[in-house]
Amino acid sequence: MRKHLTGFSLFAFLFSLTSRFLKQRPNSWSLLLGSWLDEKRTATNGKRTAALLLLTAGLGLSAQAQDPRLPARKPGLEPAPLQTEQLAPDRPAADTARVFALQNLAELVFANHPVVKQAALLSETARAQVQQARGGFDPKLGSGFDRKLFGGTDYYNNWANELKVPIWPAGIDLKVGYDRMVGRYVNPEYRTPLDGLAVAGLSVPLGQGLLIDARRSTLRQACIMVDAAEADQVKQINEIWLQAAKDYWTWYYTYQQMRLIEEGVELAATRFRGTSRRALLGDQAPIDSVEAQITVQDRQVQYEQLLVELQNARLLLSNHLWNRDGQPVELPAYAVPQRPPLTPVDTLALRGLLDFADSRHPTLLKLDAKIRQLGVEERYRRELLKPTLNVSGYLLSRGDFYRPEVPASYDFGLNNYKVGVDFAVPLFLRKERGKLWETRVKVQDATLEQQNSRRSIVTQVSAKFNALKAYERQLLLQAQTIENQRTLLRAETQKFELGESTIFLVNARETKLIDLRLKQESLRASYEKTLAELYYYAGTRTANPED
């Protein structure tokens, strides 16, 4: 009797359980089964699950009910895709005809950019100033004629001609002249024979101006300023290229953001369609389709915002694009950036950059030229402390000295000459001493600035090198994190197929993967920007400064 009662109780329990399942929608039993399993998972989960499966098999439930991944399909509906493809580890290679590489940007910038052409004018201006300074040593030819005739009287008839040739050494001036001054009222001091008077001689400064004078100081300073202008030209071009490189990698990062979010929109839309079909089939709660649609809409908003940012980044990069005719050009909409090369920089390369910066950095070269220019100025100011002592001597001859019949007493010789001596000195020299003092202060200021700039350059280069090494480590860890997140998303998707997860968790895992990929692209762009800054602070634009 006890055996019959036990069998009857077991039959009643199975009948009630079966009736409970059959009262639901055809496929809703799987959801109840999943929730029941979740609640009882912590207590003897395996045994009860096995027992329940045996019971349902014994009751003759349909084969469809045993496989929740294959829901029944209503007429007119396609199979619901339960697994969307994962985000690709790397973007597929773009068409090379569409790639606008960094080298293409460099060729256009260095060839056609107006600021680069403007920087080249600095050297031209400096060379023009050198030519102006050389004008102080140009030979000078002068001539003057005056005559007065009144009442039949020839008062004077003066004709003076002079060729003055400055000579570089010792500030000497070579003078050759011809004067003809005749007439009734000509000062006897200047009266010449009727054939005129020829003059040839030198003017030599024995005091102030012997070692250096204003003409030589100006020319030497102008020659030094050519070096300063060339260094300034290199610095300006480096600044233009740094900004262009940064804008290029900003464009790259924005483009990658747009592509990743675009793929995220496609994945979310596919999952939304699959979830909607599963809800129509009764295999999933309708509220899950709302969750999936929210994800689609959120990513669509991000995508629209990134489209605007990509257009702005493209316009910003277009500021550096000019054609041969000096007309601005726009970056084509179909152009895509290249993949970051992520060129590693080792300690040997760092040492080479530091050595180059110490000897060839444009800022240091410019300051060195400034110090040398002030050195010339200081030397000239010291020369002005000397008294002025100029000695001149000229040999005289009659104007027709070229004739053989001219007597020796009227020809060039030691018996026919004109000499002169000029002497002057300020008693206190306050003006000259003040100028010298000011120049020495400027030299000291430029020297200190050079020392500080050299230290600052070494610090900046080392800091950027440290940042590059940090980015290398971060990129390695980020790649591992992305792979782990991809594995986690794959597992979560499989759990979702088995009914042990929710659409919320799948979307959360996928969103996290997209965020990690965006972070990876941000690190890549930041690495390239930091590499460009490293070269800039080292005073160059490439990894091989000597090229």
Confidence (pLDDT) at 13: 39
Span 32-53, average pLDDT: 37
Does 118 fall in a domain? yes
Give the chain's mean pLDDT: 82
What does the alpha-carbon distance between residue 99 and residue 337 come to, in Å, rounded to a whole number? 6
- pTM, entire model: 0.76
Q: What is the pLDDT of residue 29?
A: 30
**Res. 30: pLDDT tops 70:** no
What pLDDT was estimated at residue 287? Answer: 87
Instruction: Say yes or no: 126 and 143 in one domain.
Output: no
Q: What value does the mean pLDDT take over residues 245-259?
A: 96
Burial letters for 414-442: b for 16+ Cβ neighbours within 10 Å, e otherwise?
Answer: eebeeeeeeeeeeeeeeebeebbeebeeb
Q: Report the amino acid identity of residue 252.
A: Y
CA atoms of 164 and 176, how far apart (whole Å): 7
pLDDT, position 51? 35
Band of the pLDDT at 405, cuts 50, 70, 90? low
Residue 164 shares a structural domain with residue 201: yes
Within a domain: 44: no
**76: pLDDT strictly greater than 50:** no
Confidence grade of residue 314 (pLDDT, cut at 50, 70, 90): very high
Q: Is the pLDDT of residue 147 over 70?
A: yes
Question: Would you state the pLDDT for residue 55?
Answer: 31
Confirm whether 266 is domain-assigned: no
DSSP secondary-structure letter at 397?
A: E
Based on the fold, state whether residues 309 and 332 are members of the same structural domain: yes
pLDDT given at position 78: 39
pLDDT, tens only, 87-121: 555 555 556 778 999 999 999 999 999 999 999 89
Higher per-residue confidence, 277 vs 78? 277
Region 30-54: what's the mean pLDDT? 37
- Of the residues 396, 424, 452, which one is the last residue of a structural domain? 424
Looking at residue 189, its pLDDT comes to 86
User: Does 367 lie in the same domain as 396?
Assistant: no
Contact 510, 264 (CB under 8 A): yes
pLDDT greater than 90 at residue 220: yes
316: pLDDT confidence band, cut at 50, 70 and 90? very high
> Which residue would you say has higher pLDDT here, 459 or 52?
459
The CATH number that applies at residue 104 is 1.20.1600.10
Instruction: Indicate the SS3 state at residue 359.
Output: helix
Q: Are residues 319 and 449 in the same domain?
A: yes
153-166 and 173-182: which strand pairing?
antiparallel
CB atoms within 10 A of CB 76: 5
pLDDT of residue 169: 84
Position 40 scores a pLDDT of: 37
Bigger pLDDT: 427 vs 59: 427
Return the C-alpha torsion angle 471, 472, 477, 480, nearest 10: 130
pLDDT at 203: 92
Q: What is the predicted pLDDT for the residue at 171?
A: 86
CA distance 444 to 363: 17
List pLDDT tens digits, range 326-376.
899 999 989 999 999 999 999 999 999 999 999 999 999 999 999 999 999
Residue 275 falls inside a structural domain? no
**Could you tell me the residue range of the domain that residue 315 belongs to?**
96-132+217-252+298-373+439-538
Tell me, yes or no, whether 325 and 465 share the same domain: yes
Q: Which two tokens stand for residue 263?
A: 């793929």
Whole-number percent of the chain with pLDDT over 70: 80
> What burial class does residue 342 get, using C-beta atoms within 10 Å of its C-beta: 0-12 exposed, 13-18 middle, 19+ buried?
middle
The pLDDT confidence band at residue 20, using thresholds 50, 70 and 90, is very low
Answer whether residue 262 is part of any domain: no
Do 102 and 233 reside in the same domain of the chain?
yes
Q: Are residues 164 and 244 in the same domain?
A: no
Q: How confident is the model at residue 285 (pLDDT cuts 50, 70, 90)?
A: confident
The structural domain count of the chain equals 2
Q: In whole angstroms, what is the distance from residue 414 CA to residue 514 CA?
A: 101
- Do 478 and 500 have their domain in common? yes
Domain shared by 446 and 508, yes or no: yes
Return d(Cα 339, Cα 93) in angstroms, integer.
9
Share of the chain above pLDDT 90, in %: 60
pLDDT in tens, 153-178: 989 999 999 999 998 888 899 999 99
| CB within 8 Å of 432: residues ≥ 6 apart | 381, 384, 385, 426
Q: Mean pLDDT over residues 402-425, rounded?
A: 78
Average pLDDT (258-272) is 91
Does residue 448 lie in a domain region? yes
Q: Kindly tell me if the per-residue pLDDT of 33 is higher than 90.
A: no
pLDDT band at 312 (very low <50, low <70, confident <90, very high): very high
Parallel, antiparallel, or unpaired: how do β-strands 388-398 and 336-337 relate? unpaired
101 and 121 together in one domain: yes
Residue 409 lies in a domain: yes
Looking at the fold, whether 418 and 504 belong to one and the same domain comes out as no
Using CA atoms, how far apart are residues 424 and 205, in angstroms rounded to an integer? 12
Euclidean distance between CA atoms 521 and 340, whole angstroms: 9
Residue 240 lies in a domain: yes
